[in-house]
Amino acid sequence: MRKAKLIFIPVPGIGHLVPILEFAERLFDRYDQFSVTVLVIPSSFVPDSDADTKTLAASSDSRIQYRAKAHAKEAIINLVLPDSTSNSVLVVGLVLDFFCTAMIDIGKELGIPSYLFSASCAAFLSLMFDLPTRHDQAGREFEESEPESIIPGYAKPVPTGVLPSFLFNKHGGYLSLLEHARRFKEVEVFDGMFYFYTIYPVGSLVSLKGLKILQIDKAENNEILGWLDQQPPSSVVFLFFGSLGSFDEPQVSEIACGLERREFRFLWSVRKAPAKGEFEALREYTNLDLEGILPDGFLERTKKKGRICGCAPQADALAHVAVGGFVSHCEWNCIFESLWNGVPIATWPIYSGQQMNAFQMVKDLGLAVELKLDYRMGKGKLVMADEIERAVRCVMDGESEVRLRIKEMA
């Protein structure tokens, strides 16, 4: 019997790579006759994408093969043609990231079915399904002058302030998104007779096998977990904003003031933003750097109750009994990990579709504490210490309605 091979094509970037790899491992757990090759197309717009891929490859299932190729079509053909003459392996499909719909044409040319994989929430998927219909009726992108929009998949009208900027056609993003959405009906799971999409829920894709999501120094990782071991249960608020999340110095100072006012125990990932206009990987602060941007004496005053780190072990921290709250940028996989471990979130979205995730968690579902819903990186809007203090106090409240709901779901 010939073994079936799937070619997975993700967008380079941690938020896309991790869920699709977790999905591949779930397939292995259920159907061991599959093999998977992950084809990663390097991008200059994703800092450290090559290093992230190598880190994930080292920690993921050994049955997953990795290929990094700049030219997708040539790479797919080279993967497919040898297997077409093999008696043991048959390529049965392309599993494409949401934003890789251009690969559908290659699949058609080679006679291979394509399947779209979405790591976003179902509500955002609903927005994408509705986008072509809405555009055909309205004939234009969303407008910032509109106070709110009715979007299928969301229980309440969605304020314009939380919509992703690409829906307003900033930098041509709307037209690109619309083109992706129009191509959804070309994949194999579309029922052309009745115009229904066949959707297979595969989540939640929380990694239970320890996929290394970010490159973290092993010694520092052990020190962080050792420090958490010394803290009381549910006493630590964890602040982490993902692989691209960083703040300027005034905002870092406000966060510090907010944490110190109530003497919260904290684990705080602080990373240095790239120079303005530059798109590069975040850098780590030295202790001397931190002393220069934090309030005078902050490190000394909080050394027994707080720990500042660079890149943080998000999955391990959220699973630790000492962590009782999470200030998060609201990437969907972060939300899932937090829910899985029963840790309530205070929302601080930064970029992309995170604002809509935060809105849904706070307003539609009542599963998060609102710190900010409409914050956007680089807009010069300072979140003040009193706002941070209030949100952290709420998220750490052991009897809050949000915490009780989260515990019921965990």
Among the listed residues 48, 52, 97, 320, the single catalytic one is: 97
Contact 95, 20 (CB under 8 A): yes
State pLDDT tens for residues 119-177.
Answer: 888 898 899 989 999 999 988 888 888 889 999 999 999 999 999 888 887 667 888 88
Cα dihedral 246, 219, 320, 295, rounded to 10, equals -40
Alpha-carbon distance 250 to 175, whole Å? 36
- Rounded to a whole number of angstroms, the distance between the first and last alpha carbons of the chain is 41
Residue 320: its pLDDT value, please?
A: 97
- Give the residue among 64, 17, 18 at the shortest CA–CA distance from 207: 18
Asked about 16 being catalytic, the answer comes back as yes
Q: CA-based angle 129:201:321, to the nearest 5? A: 120
pLDDT band for position 285 (cuts 50, 70, 90) = confident
Domain boundaries, the chain: 3-119, 122-180, 218-409
CATH superfamily of 218-409: Glycogen Phosphorylase B; (3.40.50.2000)
Give me the residues paired with residue 268 across strands: 239, 308
Q: Do domains 3-119 and 218-409 have the same CATH topology?
A: yes
Residue 1: its pLDDT value, please?
A: 62
State whether residue 244 is helix, strand or coil: coil
Mean pLDDT of the chain: 84
Contacts of 167 (CB under 8 A, 6+ apart): 141, 142, 173, 174, 177
State pLDDT tens for residues 63-86.
Answer: 778 777 667 778 888 877 766 566
Question: Which of 52-61, 177-186, 207-216 has the weakest average pLDDT?
Answer: 207-216
Fold of 3-119: Rossmann fold (3.40.50)
Asked about 71 being catalytic, the answer comes back as no
Among the listed residues 16, 48, 52, 329, the single catalytic one is: 16
In the numeric block, the tokens 């977790």 are attached to 22
Contact 61, 25 (CB under 8 A): yes
pLDDT band for position 32 (cuts 50, 70, 90) = confident
State whether residue 67 is helix, strand or coil: strand
For residue 231, pLDDT beyond 60 = yes
Residue 268: its pLDDT value, please?
A: 97
For residue 209, pLDDT beyond 60 = no
Q: Helices 14-30 and 49-59 sit at what angle, rounded to 10 degrees?
A: 20
Task: Cis check for the bond before 204: say yes or no (omega within 30 of 0).
Answer: yes
